[in-house]
Chains A and B, each alone.
Chain A
Amino acid sequence: MYYSQFLTRVCMPHAVLLQPKESWNSSKSNDEIIVGHCTKVPRNSNLEKLRSGYLFPEISRHESEHLRENPDASLIRLGIGDTTQPIPDAITLAMAEQVRGLSTIQGYRGYGAEQGNMALRKAIAGKFYQDMGIKANEIFVSDGAQCDISRLQMLLGSNVTVAVQDPSFPAYIDSSVVVGQAGELEEETGKYGNIIYMNCGPENDFFPDLSTIPRTDIIFLCSPNNPTGHAASWQQLKQLVEFAKANGSIIVHDSAYAAYIRDGSPRSIFAIPGAKEVAIEISSFSKFAGFTGVRLGWTVVPEELLYSDGFPVIKDFNRIVCTCFNGASNIAQAGGLACLSTDGYQDLCKVIDYYMENAKILVDGFTSLGWKVYGGKNAPYIWVHFPGMSSWNVFAEILKKTNIVTVPGRGFGPAGEEYIRVSAFGQRQNILEALRRLNSFL
């Protein structure tokens, strides 16, 4: 991922010299000022509220800068949660076959259903929602959870209130700001106005204390959690469903890492009775199948989920999907179907095991260095506590001294301060090498 640098410009008629803003001034030269035409189109004030680039391109940018300054550095990337292991043959073979079919009359496919191929929808229902009463037509195949989050925000509109975990995957907050649900960023707290931040830390077992949370329309919850790695227990999810029901709220449950659960925690919100009336679930093939570049995911919107006026949410979501989207790539979908075959799934479990073995090594490694480590048991993320330290400083130090890229916890929200997220994706030898370097450094 790359972050483009732009030149600042001056508008001719207005002759306004722009104050360099932290957010979009790159660290590169901003001296070049070019005279040009300004349109009269006002900038979207919601986008103005965003203070910096999206977190992961920012990490990339730091990485690139570091490499520029240290061209011989042997960088180990434990930052962006990017999968590294090849996709099992059975799956890529299925995709190649689909591709070759597209060159034949019988195998050619044009537009697919925007909601996804029925065979794939059925397979998802059968594999992940068996006995939960989720039907194929409640499943919408997409090009990934990040895109679905934004489509859900477009669905919900600007007049809803949201609650997110703190820390959390930045797309929930950023998309909320973009869509106009949020107020301004409050400098002292580092929080956007109008968003409820549900603190998740060691003191509350990384699950929000719902008794302290005011009602919001929407509650985003990610489990297993990015970045903390915590998998909510059945009891915790039951509490959440009850909370949502009592408040008439909608839970958006992000289950992108469900396949990493090892301890029998629920893999879907719909394992909880009553969840169908209060929850939407998003998920992804990215971390499950190494499809980070192939692009495939899905969202479940139960038919039972109704707005206050009784209108089914699924109908509006379908309208969004038909209007703002045109379906996931049929090649990716063919791959998805192969992922859910018995052999495909088995092969993928082996890859997940590989990453989780990395995670264990990292957990043990950091622990043996004397650091308090969380996560790494049900998710490919390790959440390391550096008490009293600024996470961006720790991030910078680690990068500088050991050439290891991590992610500063602050990037996930104010409660992420003092933490570093370490991803467990990577080649085994790099994981081991990373620990060797950290040993010397820490």
Chain B
Amino acid sequence: MSLMNNLSTSMISSSSSTFLAPTSFNSSRTQSVSVPLKSINIVKCVATPQEQQNAYKTKVSRNANIAKLQAGYLFPEVARRRAAHLLKYPNAQVISLGIGDTTEPIPDVITSAMAKRSHALSTLEGYSGYGAEQGEKALRAALASTFYRNLGIEDDDIFVSDGAKCDISRLQVVFGSNVTMAVQDPSYPAYVDSSVIMGQTGQFQKDVEKFGNIEYMRCTPENGFFPDLSKVARTDIIFFCSPNNPTGAAATREQLTRLVKFAKDNGSIIVYDSAYAMYMSDDNPRSIFEIPGAKEVAIETASFSKYAGFTGVRLGWTVVPKQLLFSDGFPVAKDFNRIVCTCFNGASNIAQAGGLACLSPEGLEAMQEVIGFYKENTKIIVETFNSLGFKVYGGKNAPYVWVHFPGRSSWDVFSEILEKTHIVTTPGSGFGPGGEGFIRVSAFGHRENVLEACRRFKQLYN
């Protein structure tokens, strides 16, 4: 997210942060909510304690589920720290390898399709109003043939969206509050946070840094970042991301086969996040549906964000196979369709035109080039940390490098790196207790920035 946007938005997100404050924000409102920054006050309290007491309050109870959340969502928190740092060092050349935000321009073949669609909206023949909530037919067909050819996934199993993050929440709305879920630990924070909001979880347990009622599947170097399923309790839903954000680990065919079997034996549903599938270098499955039997146990979510630089354009998709059934035999796809029709109104038609262009032969080639560029960045970062003697994971099948700082608090390392090299990374503990002791370094960035960042890392850690 751009700095300028965050200076103002940080006023909101910062006051819900507890990353710097030792106590939970949910405690008494008479406590000051400003964050103890040494620099200029970028935090604006919504009301002073005195005003609070006299202010009119409605009689509507706050949603107790949201109150369970401990702090702001991870990435706005990282952005806030970055903004604070820039205020402290206005001349610093801050390099952002934190939030996984794409930086390279979108290839022409894709933007020209979107420009064409934009212009067409000004003509009688080209104007279109509401589109199908599930997405434009041509795009759904192109997605099916590009990513799911020969896997038995049909056009109408695919639901186009404004991105995987939104789809995760919509899936949670489908599932409701009476399901249990398992996540990898560490994992992309939206799975846990959306679960808390939906009311699937218990309270946050400070001692273990976990929410009650969620099964955390530890992923470590020791288990090859694939959970030991024999130790995992049955849950209704299993969130699994491969290639993984943040560890970069890519599950093998053998591992995914075990996962599918586990889900089948337990009657569980896997929500498989394949947002980074095109970054895969090794010969691992790119879609869960490559595993026989997966259609009866899995949903797959994906995104154009990291393939086409569509982080701001907003386009993704979710596959819900017809064969996926609830315990009473009701097809999950029908409920998902209902949610899509009721809680959503389709992805932007301009973004969809771009998506279709992405899947043309020229578009695919262009996307591969950009992905290749970020993969080269990743290689440079991996080599740098390796040369400095760090234990480095990931980076081969994903644009993330997972660096081990044994025995250290990841927020401390994050702060140290930021303070001493002006580089923003992401602290591993933001992804769950299993991320403690690790730092995630994103490989998105202009080449010269990545090279400069590596120079600074070398200086700091030599």
- Give residues of chain A (170-190) contacting chain B, Cβ–Cβ below 8 Å: 171, 174-175, 178-180
**Contact: B129 with A83, CB < 8 Å?**
yes
- Give residues of chain B (109-137) contacting chain A, Cβ–Cβ below 8 Å: 111, 114-115, 118-119, 121-124, 126-134
As a 0/1 sequence over residues 300 to 318 of chain A, the CB contacts with chain B under 8 angstroms (1 = contact) are: 0001111111111011101
Contact segment of A41-49, A262-270, A380-388, A407-415: A41-49
As a 0/1 sequence over residues 297 to 314 of chain B, the CB contacts with chain A under 8 angstroms (1 = contact) are: 100000000000101111
With the chains together, A103 CA to B105 CA distance in Å?
Answer: 5
**Contact: B111 with A102, CB < 8 Å?**
yes
With the chains together, A14 CA to B328 CA distance in Å?
Answer: 9
7 closest A-B pairs by beta carbon, nearest first, are A248-B59, A40-B267, A44-B176, A157-B63, A113-B5, A150-B343, A324-B169
With the chains together, A88 CA to B118 CA distance in Å?
Answer: 11
Once A217-B59, A318-B13 are accepted as A-B contacts, the answer to whether A329 and B162 lie under 8 Å apart by CB is yes
With the chains together, A214 CA to B342 CA distance in Å?
Answer: 27
Determine the residue in chain B with the shortest Cβ distance to A179: B173
With the chains together, A95 CA to B346 CA distance in Å?
Answer: 18
Contact segment of A2-10, A220-228, A434-442: A2-10
A110 contacts partner chain B, Cβ-Cβ < 8 Å: yes
User: Can you report 29 residue pairs joining A to B where beta carbons are below 8 Å apart?
Assistant: A1-B130, A7-B322, A16-B329, A36-B325, A37-B293, A38-B327, A39-B325, A47-B176, A96-B114, A96-B115, A96-B119, A102-B105, A105-B446, A111-B312, A137-B12, A144-B345, A303-B46, A306-B55, A312-B47, A314-B46, A315-B15, A318-B9, A319-B72, A322-B72, A322-B73, A323-B169, A323-B197, A329-B348, A330-B314
Once A9-B331, A320-B66 are accepted as A-B contacts, the answer to whether A39 and B166 lie under 8 Å apart by CB is no
B376 contacts partner chain A, Cβ-Cβ < 8 Å: no
Question: Within 8 Å CB of A104, what residues of B?
Answer: 105
A82: min CB distance to chain B, Å: 4
A76 contacts partner chain B, Cβ-Cβ < 8 Å: no
**Contact: B57 with A4, CB < 8 Å?**
no
As a 0/1 sequence over residues 164 to 180 of chain B, the CB contacts with chain A under 8 angstroms (1 = contact) are: 01101100011111110
Given A110-B102, A146-B342, A329-B312, 9 extra CB contacts under 8 A: A43-B330, A57-B341, A93-B119, A102-B309, A103-B106, A105-B105, A143-B348, A295-B348, A309-B61
Determine the residue in chain A with the shortest Cβ distance to B56: A277
Question: Within 8 Å CB of A292, what residues of B?
Answer: 129-130, 345
- Give residues of chain B (144-167) contacting chain A, Cβ–Cβ below 8 Å: 156, 162-163, 165-166
Determine the residue in chain A with the shortest Cβ distance to B180: A41
Interface-centre pick from A9, A18, A39, A86 (highest chain B CB count, 10 A) = A39
Determine the residue in chain A with the shortest Cβ distance to B315: A329
Question: Within 8 Å CB of B346, what residues of A?
Answer: 293, 295
Question: Within 8 Å CB of B345, what residues of A?
Answer: 143-144, 146-147, 292, 295
B333 contacts partner chain A, Cβ-Cβ < 8 Å: yes
A154 contacts partner chain B, Cβ-Cβ < 8 Å: yes
Contacting residue for A86 out of B66, B122, B312, CB 8 A: B122
Contacting residue for A319 out of B16, B128, B166, B351, CB 8 A: B16
B190: min CB distance to chain A, Å: 6
Interface-centre pick from A111, A144, A316 (highest chain B CB count, 10 A) = A111
As a 0/1 sequence over residues 276 to 288 of chain A, the CB contacts with chain B under 8 angstroms (1 = contact) are: 0110000000000
B39 contacts partner chain A, Cβ-Cβ < 8 Å: no
Question: Within 8 Å CB of A137, what residues of B?
Answer: 8-9, 11-12
A193 contacts partner chain B, Cβ-Cβ < 8 Å: no
**Contact: A111 with B1, CB < 8 Å?**
yes
With the chains together, A44 CA to B347 CA distance in Å?
Answer: 25
With the chains together, A144 CA to B130 CA distance in Å?
Answer: 12
Interface-centre pick from A53, A115, A249 (highest chain B CB count, 10 A) = A115
- Give residues of chain B (259-275) contacting chain A, Cβ–Cβ below 8 Å: 263-264, 266-269
With the chains together, A412 CA to B444 CA distance in Å?
Answer: 48
Q: Measuring CB to CB, which residues of chain B are less than 8 angstroms from any residue of chain A?
A: 1-2, 4-6, 8-9, 11-13, 15-16, 29, 46-47, 52, 55-67, 69, 72-73, 75-76, 99, 101-108, 111, 114-115, 118-119, 121-124, 126-134, 156, 162-163, 165-166, 168-169, 173-179, 190, 193-194, 197-199, 236-237, 263-264, 266-269, 293, 296-297, 309, 311-314, 322-331, 333-335, 337-339, 341-351, 354, 444, 446
Determine the residue in chain B with the shortest Cβ distance to A85: B127
A360 contacts partner chain B, Cβ-Cβ < 8 Å: no
Question: Within 8 Å CB of A324, what residues of B?
Answer: 165-166, 168-169, 190, 194, 197
**Contact: B134 with A4, CB < 8 Å?**
yes
- Give residues of chain A (97-141) contacting chain B, Cβ–Cβ below 8 Å: 99-100, 102-105, 107-115, 117-118, 136-137
Interface-centre pick from B4, B58, B114 (highest chain A CB count, 10 A) = B58
Contacting residue for B60 out of A146, A171, A248, CB 8 A: A248
**Contact: B166 with A316, CB < 8 Å?**
no
B246: min CB distance to chain A, Å: 17
A272 contacts partner chain B, Cβ-Cβ < 8 Å: no
A159 contacts partner chain B, Cβ-Cβ < 8 Å: yes
**Contact: B175 with A41, CB < 8 Å?**
yes
**Contact: B61 with A307, CB < 8 Å?**
yes
Question: Within 8 Å CB of A45, what residues of B?
Answer: 176, 178
**Contact: B350 with A95, CB < 8 Å?**
yes
